[in-house]
Amino acid sequence: MCNPVNEAPRKKRMLSCIQPTGTPTLGNYLGALKNWVDLQDEFEGAFAVADLHAITVRQEPAKLRRQIAEMFSLLLSIGLDPEKSLLFVQSQVPAHTELCWLLACCTQFGELSRMTQFKDKSQKHADNINLGLFAYPTLMAADILLYQPDYVPVGADQKQHCELTRDIATRVNGVYGNVFTVPEPYIMKACARVRSLQAPTQKMSKSDENQNSYISLLDDRDTIVRKFKRAVTDSEASVRYAEGKDGINNLMEIYGAATGRSFEEIEREFDGRGYGDFKLAVGEAVADMLSPIQEKFATYMGDRAQLEALMKTGAEHAQYVANRTVQKLKKKMGFVLL
Ligand code: TRP
């Protein structure tokens, strides 16, 4: 028999956030952000600009303000659709800081002390080892648990924080009764594992001193083509995917993700042609992929009123979901709700 109408199984929920600290690279896009867009039909998604996390290291206010608007615009521009997913700015939903305190009282000093990111960052910012930096994973747990997601897609660097989120959720559920869905990390199949154009054994990173090593999502066409022209390759002069050809392998991954072509198709396309041709083709394919995103970005950034209206709607929808979770936990903890 067929299913009764309107009884489609609930879509699984997914949540992820990104800090507004600089323009993402092609690696961030093909490794994570594009997946968020591709998964937004399959899942009920929630995506946020994690601006409260950004101030765990000192930020310049005017720059932070601009970067929040830019990151929100960029998420819209890559195709996250506020009609399908919750899309909002973390600081505009006060429940995040409120739940963070409630969870802080259920997080152990020892647990936070073991976080490798805290150890790294407190070495890097030795003059500003603040409580927020220490509590960062608890705020992240709040971001996640507020929306009761089944999955959290994150990269390897955030795995430890996700584990801690699960531990906190399990602990709170044990003490106060079922409050939270305990989320699973979601290991995404990256569209491409993008490496540095200058040192292709390393990950592409926007904090690299050498700007030629990464493509920013807002680089213009000439810059993109120039950076690919300078990409490190090898002396074999043959476009094929093979061990030891890290530079070419990287370019093939990128070209494949930008054009949808398989490695075999790429090898056939460039059979007997030099690296110059190939690099130019990769540069142009990437520029073609990014130019519609950049056009949308310019439109969003050019209309502040519309952008803020979208933030407002997003924040209101998020608040509705988030407040329910906070109320539920406060009640169970013994607070007097009005
Ligand atoms: N800490 C994450 C990062 O730097 C960003 C983040 C904040 C996040 N809150 C989150 C990611 C919740 C996933 C879920 O990448």
Q: Which residues line ligand 1 (CB under 6 A)?
A: 15-17, 19, 50, 53, 140, 143-144, 152, 154, 158
User: What pLDDT is recorded for position 230?
Assistant: 97
The pLDDT, as a whole number, for residue 121 is 95
Q: Is 121 a catalytic residue?
A: yes
Listed residue (290, 285, 276) closest to 248, CA to CA: 276
Give the residue, out of 14, 15, 16, 117, with the most ligand 1 atoms within 8 A of its beta carbon, to mutate for a pocket test.
Answer: 16
Dist. CA 309 → ligand 1 center (Å): 24
Q: Which of 121, 227, 245, 279 is catalytic?
A: 121
Atom of ligand 1 nearest to the CA of 18: 5
SS3 114: coil
Distance 139 CA to ligand 1 centre (A): 9
Count, residues in the chain: 338
Q: Is 63 a residue of the active site?
A: no
Residue 53 alpha carbon, nearest atom of ligand 1: 7
Q: Which residues contact 228 (CB under 8 A, 6 or more apart)?
A: 197, 251, 279, 280, 282, 283, 286
Asked if residue 190 lies in contact with residue 162, where contact means CB atoms within 8 angstroms, the answer is no
pLDDT at 5 (0 to 100): 56
Query: Looking at ligand 1, which residue's alpha carbon is closest to its atom 6?
Result: 17
Q: How far is the CA of 266 from the centre of ligand 1 (A)?
A: 35
The pLDDT value given to residue 2? 46
pTM comes to 0.94
Active site residue 206: yes
Locus of tokens 């600089």: 22
Tokens 């994690």 sit on residue? 50
- Residues in Cβ contact with 255 at an 8 Å cutoff, skipping those fewer than 6 apart: 261, 266, 278, 281, 282, 285
Greatest alpha-carbon pair distance for the chain in Å reads: 75
pLDDT, position 310: 98
Local confidence pLDDT in tens for the 338 residues of the chain: 444 556 677 899 999 999 999 999 999 999 999 999 999 999 999 999 999 999 999 999 999 999 999 999 999 999 999 999 999 999 999 999 999 999 999 999 999 999 999 999 999 999 999 999 999 999 999 999 999 999 999 888 899 999 999 999 999 999 999 999 999 999 887 778 899 999 999 999 999 999 999 999 999 999 999 999 999 999 999 999 999 999 999 999 999 999 999 999 999 999 999 999 999 999 999 999 999 999 999 999 999 999 999 999 999 999 999 999 999 999 999 999 99
Residue 152: strand pairing partners: 185
The dihedral sign for the CA sequence 125, 128, 134, 136? negative
